[in-house]
Amino acid sequence: MTSEEFRKHAHSMVDWMADYLDNVEDYPVLSSVKPGEIKAQFPNSFPEKAEDFNKIFEDFEEKIMPGITHWESPNFFAYFPASKSKASILGEMIMSVLGTQGMVWLTSPAATELEDRMMEWMRDLLGLSNDWTGSIQDTASTGTFNALITAREKASNFQINENGFFRMPKYRIYASEQAHSSIDKNVKIAGFGSKNLVKIPVDENFAMIPEKLEDKIQKDIVSGYEPLLVLGALGTTGTTAVDPLEEIGAIAKKYHLWYHIDAAYSGAALICPEHRWMSKGLEMADSMVFNPHKWMFVNFDCSLYYVKEPDLLKQSYSITPEYLKTDADEEVNNYRDWHIQLGRRFRALKLWFVLREFGAEKLRTIINNHIEWAKWLEKEIKKSADFEMLAPVPVNLLCFRFNDGTMNEEDLNKFNEQLLKNVNATGKIFITHTKLNGKYTLRLVGGHPELTKGHLERAWGLIKNTANDLL
Amino acid sequence: MTSEEFRKHAHSMVDWMADYLDNVEDYPVLSSVKPGEIKAQFPNSFPEKAEDFNKIFEDFEEKIMPGITHWESPNFFAYFPASKSKASILGEMIMSVLGTQGMVWLTSPAATELEDRMMEWMRDLLGLSNDWTGSIQDTASTGTFNALITAREKASNFQINENGFFRMPKYRIYASEQAHSSIDKNVKIAGFGSKNLVKIPVDENFAMIPEKLEDKIQKDIVSGYEPLLVLGALGTTGTTAVDPLEEIGAIAKKYHLWYHIDAAYSGAALICPEHRWMSKGLEMADSMVFNPHKWMFVNFDCSLYYVKEPDLLKQSYSITPEYLKTDADEEVNNYRDWHIQLGRRFRALKLWFVLREFGAEKLRTIINNHIEWAKWLEKEIKKSADFEMLAPVPVNLLCFRFNDGTMNEEDLNKFNEQLLKNVNATGKIFITHTKLNGKYTLRLVGGHPELTKGHLERAWGLIKNTANDLL
Ligand SMILES: Cc1ncc(COP(=O)(O)O)c(C=O)c1O
Ligand SMILES: Cc1ncc(COP(=O)(O)O)c(C=O)c1O
């Protein structure tokens, strides 16, 4: 592709991108293709000859687009949003052409130093104290992995790093029953074993019961285990429940546990001082993760990992082969030592674009609107005779179900499962589910920067109508 | 930012991007800023008010660009190239606007199924047998981590996954002295301990000596260790040395070791049948990594992880919380179970663009040209009275140094270190170093898709002149 061709194709691409953003609500949110349908359209083997880009792009529109689930739609109310903004897209465009590698300061000083600064900006924006420092990771899963590895090395005095787990104590990790599955995955791969992840029961609001935590710790000590780390959720995935971080922190301190906070999603609300009731006790923690790629309008991937003692983290990961040594090593951050990967994208750039193009004020307004509209919908659901709320609404996730009082639990589960399918099959919105106390629960969360109250009103109308039709 | 504003800014961005690609050779390849210079230009705290995008972009050009090391330049001869192509940039542009998450098939069927297909295309293009299957990862570091975790779980019959390392044998991992540092990092974090990574000596070509490997394994068995995994390098980082994969494979088989191949860089050459002498024995392996983001013109990140037994991999990582369950789970790949992360970008798209827009033929021509020109330069260096080669050139990396026969080893090291600094200070090219048998070695590798022989001729001229000036 010549330079002129690139310019031409990239301009057409921009028009396609802008049109897509304009018309995203016309697509069915959830793709309705059947397994195997997309794959079958592509030949078994790679092409020998170069093809014209226009032809490739036509194929993209015709063959790929029907298999896309539209995470970009404001009517995407599923999982957690991976909502991005136009400023962030512009950031990704520059990243893609520079191809900057930030593994070592020298490989692009600006990538490291803008990241230094962005981690400070974000620390302040989230209302964290100056004790925190950190780096940008790909995902919260690897951020939580960092916490486990660092805790392991601190407790073993870097013995595991050097000698492996051999002759080590049986460590125990604690998290609430509602904690995100990344902790389950991580305790396995970090070598602790899934049996040593102790799930602590939750209260009626799905928040960890601190007394139960202390109970388990005491029993474990008696049984010869070594309590290592406790994870506090600032917003669980199922219901955005907030664990009592202060009480957990006191227990962590008492028993010398590493204290890690998973604020992957709800952390975004901390940019508004009025929601910082959630982070009370967070300052007692040793590490935390927060994903701007979820609800702060930065393209995936962009996850922030903060720690109090960065040297422990660096020591856990550090390697210095000859070919990576530079003269500046003593003066700068070499972020390859802050996570499992070596190569790293220039993620600070898009975060910087978003922070400046929105400004803190506007970001706070949007987050506050999302929360206010969710509380409005909560009231509507509570008022309705046919639906009920199944969890509190600390931020903007609604957990509810159809229940007109005429069905038993089993039938309710079946009905709500079918309701979810029918709602999603309309293509107008996409919602997902969870199970709370055995109840099939509809989960609805809107986090698009251009979400309006109207989107939620229409979603609610659609759900009510679909339930009526199903009855 | 309104839709119209986005369209306008994105079009200007495209012009900037195309101009950048046109003029990239006018920038100094290696940024010459001092530590802290970039950071100091940005305020301590985040902005409250929204700012105009034009102003932000001006700041980008003025404050960030001087701190960029230009990985995109054909005169970037450092590390390994992270060379990308225009087709791949267009792929990243679409990815950025769709924001597709491919963690579960349902979250975008096209992302999963195009990935299925691309892994097949790449398998065939690399000349691998049909036994291999795999998925796209972010980096080779995490790919090699997968291999360690899977080997660990297979050997322990999933006991480590469940119970942790407690009462496990002392596993040993083997790799050559020249293997990439990602194995050092990974043995630590996977819980084996750095002491249990056994580095096997290399021969005069920097390839592993298989007899030494067998030696170590036998000694370890006698000492009560359990040999677990051996890594064979298909192209080391220092010199692109190729380990004798067949001999290592036979040893791996004999002692029942997991056999992992690191073809992160040189794997690209396997698309040309004439370079498949390197992969003889690769079919004996259990897993391998190859990075299209290094020398196959796909934007970082895009790393392929292939395995023979994907079920072992999935079982090592699998988690199925309620909110991730879908009806299609039995019929499709849910790639979240193929690596450490949960969220994942639609990387298959850019790979597909590159494979089609280039076609295999053109990709092979480019790779072959790079190799041919490197061999030309090798001859020039060998002819020169003042320089000497320090390693063979299996593909396109040159390891050499100035040596006019008048200096002792210590002075040679000092001279070559200064030579490297002076060459890089010109801004005209960027090369890095390694140490081979204690010798300070200049490393030069060109992998840009638009590299010409002229770029190498000019680089060689510059190095010779700079050495003369330094004398
Ligand atoms: C509370 C919580 N923690 C962690 C994660 C994992 O996020 P990531 O995909 O960035 O690993 C999620 C994802 O939804 C989450 O909701
Ligand atoms: C041979 C080899 N293996 C692995 C890696 C690690 O690559 P990544 O940055 O994708 O983890 C490199 C990086 O240069 C390499 O040269």
Is ipTM strictly over 0.90? yes
- Does the pLDDT at position A344 exceed 80? yes
**pLDDT exceeds cutoff 80 at B271:** yes
Tokens of B399: 């390891």
- Asked if residues A434 and A450 have their Cβ atoms less than 8 Å apart, the reply is no
Instruction: Find how far residue A189's CA is from the centre of its chain.
Output: 20
d(CA B245, CA B261): 8
∠ at Cα A131 (A127, A135), nearest 5°? Answer: 85
The nearest CA of chain B is from the CA of A20 a distance in Å of 8
Instruction: Report the pLDDT value the prediction gives residue B137, as an integer from 0 to 100.
Output: 94
Sign, Cα dihedral of A81, A336, A123, A180 = positive
pLDDT at B250 over 90: yes
Whether ligand 2 lies within 6 angstroms of the CB of B370 is answered as no
The one-letter code for the residue type at A330 is E
Lowest mean pLDDT among A208-212, A340-344, A420-424: A340-344
| φ, ψ (nearest 5 deg) of residue A287 | -155, 160
A48 and B360 in contact by Cβ < 8 A? Answer: yes
Asked if residue B83 has pLDDT above 90, the reply is: no
Q: Are strands B387-389 and B397-402 parallel, antiparallel or unpaired?
A: antiparallel
Helix, strand or coil, per DSSP, at residue A209 = coil
> Residue A166 has what pLDDT?
79
On whether the CB atoms of residues B321 and B308 are closer than 8 A, the answer is no
Q: Could you tell me which residues are beta bridge partners of residue B415?
A: none
The tokens describing A467, both together, are 């339930």
- Find the mean pLDDT for residues A295-310: 95
- pLDDT tier at A66 (50, 70, 90 boundaries)? very high
Residues in chain B, overall count: 471
A100-345 shares the fold of A1-30+69-99+359-471 = no
**SS3 of B344-390:** CCCCHHHHHHHHHHHHHHHHHHHHHHHHHHHHHHHHHHHHCCCEEEC
**Nearest CA among A385, A442, A380 for reference residue A412:** A442
Summarize the confidence of residues B296-313 as an average pLDDT. Answer: 94
Nearest residue of B to residue A191, measured between CA atoms = B164
Ligand nearest to the CA of B81: 2
Q: Considering chain A, what percentage of its residues have pLDDT values greater than 90?
A: 87
- Choose among B100, B237, B328: nearest Cβ to A35: B328
Angle at the Cα of B375 (from B370 to B379), degrees rounded to 5?
145
Q: Rounded distance, CA A412 to CA A402, Å?
A: 7
CB atoms closer than 10 angstroms to residue B25: 13
Strands A387-389 and A303-307: unpaired
Topology classification of domain B1-30+69-99+359-471: Aspartate Aminotransferase, domain 1 (3.90.1150)
Beta strands in A190-249 (DSSP E): 197-200, 226-233
Pairing state of beta strands B432-436 and B439-445? Answer: antiparallel
Question: What are the start-end ranges of the H helices in A73-209?
Answer: 86-98, 109-125, 140-155, 159-163, 182-189
Please give the Cα distance from B153 to B168 (Å, whole number). Answer: 11
Residues 6+ positions from B337 with CB-CB distance below 8 Å: B313, B314, B317, B318, B319
A246 neighbors A189 (Cβ within 8 angstroms): no
Of B290, B231, B296, B291, nearest to B261 by C-alpha is B231
Nearest to A101 by CA among A435, A291, A335: A335
- pLDDT for position B116: 94
Q: For A191-208, what is the mean pLDDT?
A: 97
CA atoms within 13 A on the CB side of A118: 26
HSE, CB side, 13 Å, CA atoms: give it for residue B284.
20
Predicted local distance difference test score (pLDDT) of residue A341: 86
- Two tokens, residue B239: 């010199």
Strand partners, B198: B174
Question: Helices A182-189 & B310-317, crossing angle to 10 degrees?
Answer: 110
- Count the Cβ atoms, other than its own, within 10 Å of residue A328: 17
Mean pLDDT for B141-159 is 94
Q: Say how far apart CA A186 and CA A166 lie, in whole Å.
A: 19
DSSP A127: T
CA–centroid distance for A13 within its chain: 28
- With contact defined as beta carbons under 8 Å apart, do A141 and A289 qualify? no
The two three-digit tokens of residue B224, written as one number? 């009560």
Distance B194 CA to ligand 2 centre (A): 19
Q: What is the largest CA-CA distance in chain B?
A: 74
Q: Compute the distance between CA of residue B151 and CA of residue A446 in angstroms, rounded to an integer.
A: 41
Q: How many helices (H) and strands (E) does chain B have?
A: 15, 11
Domain-wise residue ranges, chain A:
1-30+69-99+359-471, 100-345
Q: Does any CB of chain A come closer than 8 Å to the CB of residue B53?
A: yes
Establish whether the linkage from the previous residue to B301 is cis, with ω within 30° of 0: yes
Nearest to A109 by CA among B182, B70, B326: B70
**What local confidence, expressed as pLDDT, does residue A330 receive?**
81
In tens, the pLDDT along A276-293 reads 999 999 999 999 999 999
Q: Considering every ligand atom, which ligand is closest to the CA of A445?
A: 1
The full length of chain A comes to 471
The most distant pair of C-alpha atoms in chain A lies apart, rounded to whole Å, by 74
Pairing of strands B439-445, B397-402: antiparallel
C-alpha to C-alpha distances, B32 to A139, B67, B411, nearest whole angstrom: 32, 7, 26
Dihedral sign (CA B352, B357, B362, B368): negative
**What band does B295 get if pLDDT is binned at 50, 70 and 90?**
very high
Better-scored residue on pLDDT, B439 or A322: B439
Where on the phi/psi map is residue A38: left (φ > 0), alpha (ψ -120 to 50), or beta? alpha
Across chain B, mean pLDDT equals 95
Interface of B with A in 113-142 (CB under 8 A): 113-114, 116-117, 120-122, 124-125, 138-142
| B109-125 helix and B348-383 helix, angle to the nearest 10 degrees | 30
Cβ(A269)–Cβ(A294) below 8 Å: no
Residue A135 — φ and ψ, nearest 5°? -150, 165
Q: Is B188 on the interface with A (CB under 8 A)?
A: yes
Is ligand 2 within 6 A of the CB of residue B265? yes
For A250-313, the DSSP string reads: HHHHHTT-EEEEE-TTGGGGGGSGGGGGGGTTGGG-SEEEE-HHHHSS--SS-EEEEES-HHHH
- Distance in Å, alpha carbon of A337 to nearest chain B alpha carbon: 9
The neighbour count for residue B93, using CB atoms within 10 Å, is 26
Angle at the Cα of A463 from the Cα atoms of A460 and A465, rounded to 5 degrees: 105
Q: What is the number of other CB atoms lying within 10 angstroms of the CB of residue A408?
A: 7
Least confident of A310-314, A316-320, A340-344, B278-282: A316-320
The residues in B 79-118 lying below 8 A from A, measured between CB atoms, are 79, 82-90, 92-101, 105-111, 113-114, 116-117
Specify the residue with its C-alpha closest to ligand 1, atom 7: A140
Q: Does the CA dihedral A191-A193-A198-A199 come out positive or negative? A: positive
**Is residue B267 within a helix (H) or strand (E), and if so which, with residue range?**
none
Tens of pLDDT, residues B407-426: 999 999 999 999 999 999 99
The pLDDT of residue B166 is 80
Q: Which of B141, B144, B148, B434 to mutate to test the pocket of ligand 2 (most atoms within 8 A of CB)?
A: B141
**CA angle at B265 for the pair B261 and B266, rounded to the nearest 5°:** 80
Mean pLDDT (whole number) for A28-46: 95
- Token output for A183: 């902790």
Show the CA angle centred on residue B395, arms to residues B393 and B396, nearest 5°.
85
> Which residues of chain A from 343 to 402 reach within 8 Å of chain B, CB to CB?
343, 345, 349, 352-353, 355-362
Distance in Å, alpha carbon of B122 to nearest chain A alpha carbon: 8
For residues A209-228, give the mean pLDDT: 98
Mutate to test the interface with B, among A23, A298, A323 (most CBs of B within 10 A): A323
What pLDDT does residue B331 have?
84
Mean pLDDT of B83-92: 94
- pLDDT tens track for A87-119: 999 999 999 999 998 888 889 999 999 999 999
Q: Per CATH, which fold does A100-345 belong to?
A: Aspartate Aminotransferase; domain 2 (3.40.640)
CB B92 within 8 A of CB A6: no
What is the pLDDT, as a whole number, of residue A172?
Answer: 97
**Span A145-166, pLDDT tens digits:** 999 999 999 999 999 998 888 7
Q: pLDDT-based confidence at A426, cuts 50/70/90? A: very high
| pLDDT score recorded for residue B259 | 98
In the block, which residue shows the tokens 């609001």? A205
Q: At what angle do helices B3-23 and A86-98 cross, to 10 degrees?
A: 10
